[in-house]
Amino acid sequence: MKALLLRDLRLAVRAGGGFGLSLVFFLILCTLVPFGVGAEGGQLSRIAPGILWVGALLACLLSLDRIFALDHEDGSLDLLATAPLPLEGAVAIKALAHWLTTGLPLVVFAPLLGVLLHLPTAAYPLLVLSLALGTPALSMLGAFGAAITVGLRRGGLLLSLLVLPLYVPTLIFGAEVVRRGAVGADPTTPLVFLAGITLATLALVPFAAAAALRVNLR
């Protein structure tokens, strides 16, 4: 498992393309929004929680098809499926690698972009916390979508069509946490819901994703 994780991380970092691109995308998105809605500070700080969450979600989406597609092309996915490691475990590790290369950088850099969008000071810890709690669910659900579309030639667009509706609950609670933090309300309830969704996703979705992979490798 550790070997697989290290291999995926190395591939992501050294092969170029994937790693860092989603961060740049996140940055560009947060730069474009003020052009669209105007640079007035009060308005920006009001919509900042939503923009940051939607941006993180879209940035996460960008690199999803790479979770399984490359391994499917060169055949290493078949080797993984026949390895002693259960496929569910392999899926979870690959989702973890995706999170470490995409989700975690987003969590770390989100406060910087919060400055760009005039996010109220009180919301920064909650922004980091909610993203740290929510993005693992995004990676895991994305792995499920990637597992379903891995055999398709033009799976990229379909992948986003399948995965985005699944992101709705996570987005609602994640953005709600930050919004409550921004206006000084108690964020405990949405925070607990967010953590609950992530934990349930991490526990159950690997089975669905592994089942989808088995169908595609048949």
CA distance 70 to 64: 11
The reply to whether 176 sits near other proteins by the rule CB under 8 A is yes
CA distance 218 to 215: 5
Q: Which long-range contacts (CB under 8 A, 24 or more apart) does 85-89 make?
A: 85/1, 85/4, 86/210, 87/210, 87/213, 87/214, 88/206, 88/207, 88/209, 88/210, 89/1, 89/206
Among 103, 155, 181, 206, binds other proteins (CB under 8 A): 155
The reply to whether 54 sits near other proteins by the rule CB under 8 A is no
Among 36, 42, 165, 186, binds other proteins (CB under 8 A): 165
The reply to whether 151 sits near other proteins by the rule CB under 8 A is yes
Q: Which is nearer to other proteins, 8 or 176 (CB)?
A: 176
Among 144, 146, 177, 198, binds other proteins (CB under 8 A): 144
Q: How far is CA 211 from CA 37, 108, 147, 181, in A?
A: 44, 33, 9, 39
CA distance 140 to 159: 13
CA distance 128 to 108: 7
Size of the site for other proteins (CB under 8 A): 29
Interface characters, 88-127, with other proteins (x: CB under 8 A): ----------------------------------------
Q: Which is nearer to other proteins, 113 or 177 (CB)?
A: 177
Among 26, 149, 178, 198, binds other proteins (CB under 8 A): 149
Listed ranges 2-10, 61-69, 78-86, 207-215: which one lies at the site for other proteins (CB under 8 A): 207-215
Among 39, 161, 183, 199, binds other proteins (CB under 8 A): 161
The reply to whether 216 sits near other proteins by the rule CB under 8 A is yes
Question: Interhelix angle for 41-62 vs 104-116, to 10°?
Answer: 160
CB 93 within 8 A of CB 4: yes
The reply to whether 186 sits near other proteins by the rule CB under 8 A is no
Shortest CA distance to 39 belongs to which of 213, 71, 47?
47
**Contacting positions for other proteins (CB under 8 A):** 144, 148-149, 151-152, 154-155, 158, 161-162, 164-166, 168-169, 172-173, 176, 189-190, 193, 197, 205, 208, 211-212, 215-216, 218
